[in-house]
Each structure stands twice: as C-alpha cells, then as structure tokens.
Chain A
Amino acid sequence: MSALLEVKNIYLSFGGIMAVAGVSFKVNKGEIFSIIGPNGAGKTSVLNVVTGIYKPKRGKILFEDTDITNLPVKKRAKLGLVRTFQNLELFKGMTVLDNLMLSRHIFMNYGLISSIFYFGKALKEEVKNREFVEDVIDFLDLSAVRKKYVFELSYGIQKRVELARALCLQPKLLMLDEPMAGMNTEETEDMARYIIDINEEMGITIILIEHDMNVVMDLSHRVVALDFGEKICEGKPEEVANDERVLSAYLGEEKWV
C-alpha cells in the first residue's frame, strides 16, 4: 500500500501552548486511520494543519507525494482533502439541499452571465450536480429533510448532513472529527455503518477522530494516539489499546471504556 497522506514532524503552537509537537504519521490508501487521545491532546489541531486552517510552525504535509504545506485552504478541497468539523460548521441559513449543492461548487464551471439567464450551461450543470447530490441524499437517508433548513434539524441529523456535505465533494481523504459526539446509541450505530460503507464501497480513505473506543476498535485499521501534542503510540487497534503510555494518558479519563 502506498501513502496517501504523509504528516512529517509537524509543530503548532498557540501562544505558549504547544498544540502539536513533532507529530508524524502516514495514512495509506484505502484504510480507516484513527487518531485518539484525551481532551486537548491536539487531535483537531492536526486536522487543522492537514486542511490548512493553520500553518504548522515546522514540518511538512505531503498528499499523494506532493508537498501541500503552503497550499491555500480553498485549493485543498479540489485535491480531495475533505473534512467534517467537531462542532458542526454547516450553513445554517440554507436548506440541506443547498448545503450539499454548495459542496458541488468546485465541480461547476459556469460563469456570471450563464447564471444571470439561468440557461444553457448553468442549467445543465445545476441538474447534473443535483443528480450527484441526490445519490448522496439517498445513501445517507436524508430525503425526508432535503428541503429543511439546517437550523430546524436535530443535532444527530445535522451531523449526518455534514457527512453528506463532505461526500458531495468526492473526497480522496475524508477526515471526520468526532462524527459520533453527542449521538445516542442508535445514531452512533448508523454512523458507524455509514463510515464502513464509505470506506468499503466507495473506497474512500478515512481519518477518524473519535472518543468512543468501541467505535475506534471496531472500525480502524490503524490507530495513532496523541497526548500533549505528541505521538505516544501507533499501530493496530488492539496494540494501541494495550499500550502502557496510552493507558496512563487516559488514566482518570472516564471516556476510556
């Protein structure tokens, strides 16, 4: 297997806080790769660096063997680097459908004039992309809420909409930041099922950040554990679960169940 993403010795700090201190790992094509660690360990920060929201103080990010460390955020979606956010970041004033259609933004090439007349190329591309969006809606069982505004929906459904929005970008690497947080058992099981399907049926590589260890153990091919911004362990789920440093990092954390 070849590496799709390579994170090379990255450092990130906020004022005095070292959020990420020399983390390196590789994510292989086709795998579900999990990042675990106690609260404040730097998991989200690593994603923020990979997606370009923050620039690392040191280190490199390679995607498909190309250095993307300095690539602007807006260009990374086009490469296939797509994420969801820990705290929902949907477009609340748009319907579910429009949220998903927005994800097709980079696949539409018509300009202002075509848009003014809503004719020809604009109409054709709108319809073509709408078809793609409808497939994703079917896949994630969102047809009932298609025309609803996001702010009207329950938290669990909003999480699913965010996943749908990410899928509409046709990711090569899908990064999910705590997709099950705040969900009940049933919603969690659904989400796990979707993640497996996305990985197996669509062949999309996934980075998963998750606190629910049962989920991590069940889904992941490989796991990396962070603590205080540093990588403390990497390996197969069962190896990481029994690692001493991991156990002590989680000592007193009730989430370790």
Chain B
Amino acid sequence: MNYVNCGNFKTSYAKDAAIYKTVFSKISIYSFLILMLLVPFYANSYILYILNMIFISSIAAVGLNILTGFTGLISLGHGAFIGVGAFATGYLALNYGMNFYFVIPLAALITAIIGIIFGLPSLRLKDLYLSIATLAAQFILEFIFIRAESFTGGVNGMPVAYPTIFGIEINNDFRFYFFAYSFAIVMITIGKNILRTKIGRAFISVRDNYIAAEAMGVDIFKYKLLSFGISSFYAGVAGSLWAYYVQFITPEHFTITVSIQYLSMIIIGGLGSVLGSIFGTIFMVILPEMLRHLVDLLSGVAPFLKQIFPAIREAFYGIVIILFLLFEPEGLARRWNLIKAYWKLWPFSY
C-alpha cells in the first residue's frame, strides 16, 4: 500500500488540484466515510451524543477557521453567531412552522448577513482592534438574545420542535446522527472547494500580505466581508443543527466562553487547515468528557473534585491551549501530516 504514491504523476491539472490525490487516499477516505455510517448501529446513545456534538461543532469550527485561520481575521464573536443561527431556527420553525430544509438555509443566510454587518469594521480595523470589534459583536448579540424577547424568548429561552423528514421525526440520537453527519460532510466538502479555488487563495493572500494582495488586484475589503459572510453562514448552520438537537435554546448557550472554545479548537487543530478544524473539534469535545470520567473516578478519594469540576475544566482548557501554542503552534494537523509523511516513506524513514 505504500507504493501507491510512487508513480504519482498527474495527467491533467484538474486531477492535480483534486482534494484526494491518490487512489489510495481516495479509497481510504471513502471507506472511512461509509464505515462511519455503521457506527450508530453499534454505539450507545452516549457515544452518539458525543459524535453528534462533534459533527455540529466541526461545522462551526471550519467556519471560524475560514475567517481566522485562512483570512487572518480573529473573531471573538463566533459563539454569538452560532446563537443567531439557533434563534433564527427557533423563530422560523415556531412562528412559520417551516420545515428544516427551508429553516436551516434561511437561518444560515440570516447569520451570514449579520456576520457581514459585524464584519464592516474590518474596512478600517485590523488585528487586535478588529478582534475587539468582534468582541463587541458578541456582547451586542448576547444583549439582543436576552432583550428581544418576542424573537428569542429572552432569558427563558425558546423550545424548538424536532425536524421531520418524509414524515419521520428526527427525535433521538440515532436518527440525528445521520442528519448531522450529512450536514457535516456537505459543509466540509463545500469548505474544501471554496478554499481550493480563487476565493480561498484570495483569503490567504489577505492574511499573508494584504499590500501585495491589493497590488495583485484582489479587492481586500470584498474578500474580508465574504469571509465574514461564509464563516457566519457555517456558524448559522451549526447553530441551527444545535437548536434542533438540544430542542431548547437560551442565551447562555452562546456566550463569550463558546467563542473562546471555538478559537481554542482551531488553534489546537491547526489554523488554516480544514482537517485541523475537525481534529480540534474532536479534541475539544472529547477532552472535557475524559476529564469528567477522571473526576468521577477520583471522586471516591477526593469528593471535592466533583464540586470544582467546572473550574477544573476551564483551567484545563487554558493549560492545553498554552501547551499547544508553545509546543505545537501549527496544531494537530501538522502532527497528522508528519505521521502521514513518515508512513509514506516507511520503512525507510530517514
């Protein structure tokens, strides 16, 4: 299986630009995707819950990575944008009784527009100043979630009904698995496509060197806004799925902590990498679960651990992020590439 890459000469430029470049990687990725379809038949609902959270969160993480990792615009408002998607979903489903296949795109579109509006300061602001502006977006939106009671239910939150498809209610972890999984695959594929074309290159050019980008004819402001729009669209889809999954949303779900968690995900996974966003999500969803089990295990010896679990969790996040920034600043994606490169040359790995 390691020989496949040796005679890897592309016969056309289209093939050279393909996402999966060898037959081997194509086969492995498709088999993996199909195997994933079998998981729910064997997993219990706890595992399914975790996987569903990973699907939903990875959509949002890819979105944030498009903005922050690829375009270089740090956003501290991603959590609130996810909230916009969630509340828009609740509102549309509750008041208009729309089905999810209208609600999700509409909610995502609304989120995209709001994202673009809050991206407008990027015309004048850069770096730290821009991230402060997105922090303002976070707080303004949180305020709206709480105050615009007729839309959001305010602090009491709002219920969201199950989505139905062909008369089937998606009302348990098992069914939701297929639902969220499909969305994750579609959104990640779209992201990959956007990033390997003209738009993705323009994003990176804005990140790496905006003066040169402009001299090459890239309309920087347009692409900054487009990046805000696409990133928020992803947040909207994730928020919408989340609303359908948890079925009850309150403003507390979309605080600055959530924004920071998403930033952590993409830093841990790897800025500027779609695969990294997914790794980061898996890591950040599983880590607190592991921690919880550890605390449960130790609580026999030290019962107070259970009480301070939330505090431990936050501190642990912080430590993990610092460790990554120090020792693996390019994230899990780079580790993965190193491992892949190692196996490609195995057993001659020098």
Q: Which residues of A contact B37 (CB under 8 A)?
A: none
Say whether B216 contacts A77, CB under 8 Å. yes
Q: How far is the CB of A117 from chain B (nearest CB, A)?
A: 7
Q: Is B23 an interface residue (CB 8 A)?
A: no
Interface contact B215-A83, CB-CB below 8 Å:
yes
Q: Which of B11-19, B303-311, B313-321 contacts A (4 or more CB under 8 A)?
A: B11-19
Q: Find out whether the CB atom of B202 lies under 8 angstroms from the CB atom of A90.
A: no
The reply to whether A112 and B208 contact each other, CB–CB distance below 8 Å, is no
A98-B204 in contact (CB<8A)? yes
Given A89-B212, A90-B212, A93-B208, also A115-B197 (CB < 8 A): yes
Of B12, B16, B199, B207, which is within 8 A of A112 by CB? B199
Interface pick from B101-109, B188-196, B286-294? B188-196
Interface residues of A in 84-129 (CB under 8 A from B): 85, 89-94, 98, 101-103, 105-106, 108, 110, 112, 115-118, 122-123, 125-127
B17 near A126 (CB under 8 angstroms)? yes
Task: Report whether A115 and B208 are in contact in the complex, using a CB–CB cutoff of 8 Å.
Answer: no
Report if A91-B209 is in contact (Cβ < 8 Å); known contacts: A102-B218, A105-B217, A105-B218: yes
Return chain B residues, CB-CB under 8 Å to A116.
190, 193-194
Interfacial chain A residues near B190, Cβ < 8 Å: 116
CB <8 Å contact, A117 and B193: yes
Question: Are B194 and A85 within 8 A (Cβ)?
Answer: no
**Complex interface: chain B residues within 8 A of A76 (CB):** 215, 217
Does A198 lie at the interface of the complex (its beta carbon under 8 Å from any beta carbon of B)?
A: no
Q: Is the CB of B201 within 8 A of A98?
A: yes
A106 and B196 contact, Cβ closer than 8 Å, known pairs A53-B211, A123-B14, A126-B14 = no
- Which residues, 129 to 184 on A, are CB-close (under 8 Å) to B? 130-131, 134, 165, 169
Q: Does A74 contact B (CB under 8 A)?
A: yes
Q: Determine the chain B residues whose CB is within 8 A of the CB of A74 once the complex forms.
A: 214, 217-220
B217 x A93 contact (CB < 8 A): no
Residues on A lying within 8 angstroms of B by beta carbon are: 51, 53, 73-78, 82-83, 85, 89-94, 98, 101-103, 105-106, 108, 110, 112, 115-118, 122-123, 125-127, 130-131, 134, 165, 169
